Structure 1
Amino acid sequence: MNNINELIYEGKAKKVFSHDDSNKVIIEFKDDATAFNAMKKAKFEGKGKLNCLISSRIFELLIKNNIPTHFLELKNENTIIAKKIKVIPLEIVLRNTAYGSLCKQTTIKPGTVLPKPLIDIYLKNDELNDPLITKDRIEILNIISPKDLDLIIDLTLKINVILKSFFKNIQLELVDFKLEFGYDCKNNILLGDEISPDNCRLWDLNQKNDIIVSLDKDRFRNDLGGLIEAYSEINRRINDFI
């Protein structure tokens, strides 16, 4: 990155830089891994590159399927050019199979396939530890209009159908995933952030005897090791399929 590109924002996994076009940004993927609201941190060489390449391919797939996203193009192996968006401070989590926090907060057993996709919405706020939030609270806080929230939920359900099918084709089960959205300069809602093993739970369908083998950030969360190997395997399968 040269001096012309000003650092606008640095998050846990990415840096956002200005672009010559004020309606665009340059997003650089970092090698940092964080879990439990950044209480656990580590660096993995090559992680940023893998997440960038995986995200780019998946964004391209979603765009082909008429999902509006911020993605414009891959700049290099760990950087993309994207539309500049005003991020909506909500994290949209869609669950196909029960795991993680859902099982800690309910009596549903881990690995239970849900009768229909469950959407949980969290307030994007590190100080409050990203709490689960209701539609009524979103309305009271005036975060977004009910109409825009309905649009985001509809988009999330459509994305789930596309991604579930895509991942199944490369022998991966899409357990759950987290999305973020934002408004572009024309006030259109776009999918932002990234789609990668950092924010998707992906289980290897090649395993026998119902053994769960995670090929996602749970390898870091749960001290399973082999994070780069898992991300590399996903990238390889995507490249072999597309």
Structure 2
Amino acid sequence: MARRKLIYEGKAKILYEGPEPGTFVQYFKDDATAFNAEKKDVIEGKGVLNNRLSEYFMVGLASIGVPTHFLKRLNMREQLIRQCEIIPLEVIVRNRAAGSICKRLGLEEGATLPRPIIEFCYKDDSLGDPLVAEEHIIAFGWASQQDLDDMVALALRVNDFMSGLMHGVGITLVDFKIEIGRVWDNEFQRLVVADEISPDSCRLWDQKTGQKLDKDVFRRDLGNLADAYTEVARRLGVLPANVSPASKPTLVN
């Protein structure tokens, strides 16, 4: 079999050239990083879980009319995705106070925000992905005002879908981040949800106990990260109910 062409390698995923023009293969690694990659480890099975969970969320979004780059899952660690131009911004949606917003604004962790708050960060690891205002985004040409309006609308639809989904299995969606890509159908541009949606990119708390079921487990040394992600997958029905948390999870097709 011919060696695949590597397009890009990030902290948690690798992109390869896809089998058809306009496609990529997205590979999920077991690497875990935090604090702009200052803390690193390899969590066996993490990539498998994130691949399956991201597929689950992307398929669910597509079913309600939210466009995504996801085409299909290829195997335990890989997805076929549509090639798109990633807008160099992280779109963060916050329902409760956690993480950097607590430090910036002196908020108590867990405080319910008056409404979902959307923030933008410029994607540049060397700068620490700084928070930016809409004025910066438009002035530097990262996105137009129409793009921003569409990105906000997409982010709020993702929030509605994810919040309801998680609430149904006893989990609070505290916040999450997504990336948005541009795709073209002839001369027509549209925006799609890209990258991934997984416990790597969300804060998820058990509604009753407040137990963290996301990457904060790794950031704060709160336990086994694979166990936390396995619990999320089990509640969503991605794992059989009788499977114990394990570093090598058995996934349901």
**TM-score interval, normalised by the smaller of the two chains:** over 0.9
Call closer, same or farther: CA 1:191–1:240 in 2, change over 3 Å. Answer: closer
Amino acid at match of 2:222: L
What is the RMSD computed on CA atoms of the aligned residues?
A: 1.4
Match in the other structure for 1:36 = 35
Picking from 212, 225, 242, the partner of 1:227 is 225
2:2 aligned partner: 3
Match of 2:236 in 1: 238
Report the equivalent of 2:101: 102
Determine if contact 1:172/1:204 at 8 Å carries over to the other structure.
yes
The reply on whether 1:202 has 2:184 as its aligned counterpart is no
Aligned to 2:45: 46
The answer to whether the 8 Å contact 2:13/2:26 transfers is yes
- More deviation, 45-54/183-192: 183-192
Verify the 8 A CA contact 2:217 2:224 in the aligned structure 1: yes
One-letter amino acid matched to 1:70: H
Misfit runs of 4+, over 3 Å: none
Percent identical: 41
Q: Displacement, 1:179?
A: 0.5
Among 202, 211, 216, the alignment partner of 1:218 is 216
Residue 168 of structure 1 aligns with which residue?
167
Provide the C-alpha distance between the structure 1 equivalents of 2:134 and 2:207, rounded to a whole number of angstroms.
Answer: 35
Name the counterpart of 2:11: 12
Letter in 2 for 1:149: L
Aligned residues: 237
Match of 1:183 in 2: 182
Query: Hey, what's the Cα distance between the residues in 2 that align with 1:132 and 1:58?
Result: 26
Native 8 Å contact 1:30 1:48 kept in 2? yes
Instruction: Give TM-score, length-normalised by structure 1.
Output: 0.95
- Does the 8 Å contact 1:23/1:185 carry over to 2? no
1:180-236: CA deviation from partner (whole Å, max 9, x where unpaired): 0111243321100111000000001242xxxx2100000000111211000011111
Q: Aligned residue for 2:145? A: 146
Structure 1 position 140, deviation (Å): 1.0
Displacement after TM superposition at 1:161 (Å): 0.6
Hey, what's the Cα distance between the residues in 1 that align with 2:144 and 2:152?
12
- The 2-side partners of 1:120 and 1:193 are apart by 18
Partner residue in 1 for 2:246: none
The alpha carbon displacement at 1:240 in A equals 6.2
- What's the counterpart of residue 65 of structure 2? 66
Residue aligning to 2:247: none
Whether the aligned pair in 2 keeps the contact of 1:84 and 1:185 (CA below 8 Å) is no
| CA–CA separation in structure 2 for the residues paired with 1:169 and 1:106 | 31
How many angstroms apart in 2 are the aligned matches of 1:240 and 1:146? 38
Quick check: 1:93 aligned with 2:71?
no
Shift of 1:147: 0.4
CA spacing shift, 1:21–1:216, aligned 2, 3 Å: same
In structure 2, runs of 5+ residues without a counterpart are 240-251
Structure 1: gaps of 5 or more residues? none
> Is the contact between residue 218 and residue 225 of structure 2 (CA under 8 Å) also seen in structure 1?
yes
| Distance (whole Å) between structure 2 residues aligned to residue 206 and residue 4 of structure 1 | 49
Q: If the length of structure 2 is used for normalisation, what is the TM-score?
A: 0.91
Q: Distance in 1 between matches of 2:223 and 2:154?
A: 34
| Contact 2:52–2:238, Cα closer than 8 Å, also in 1 | no
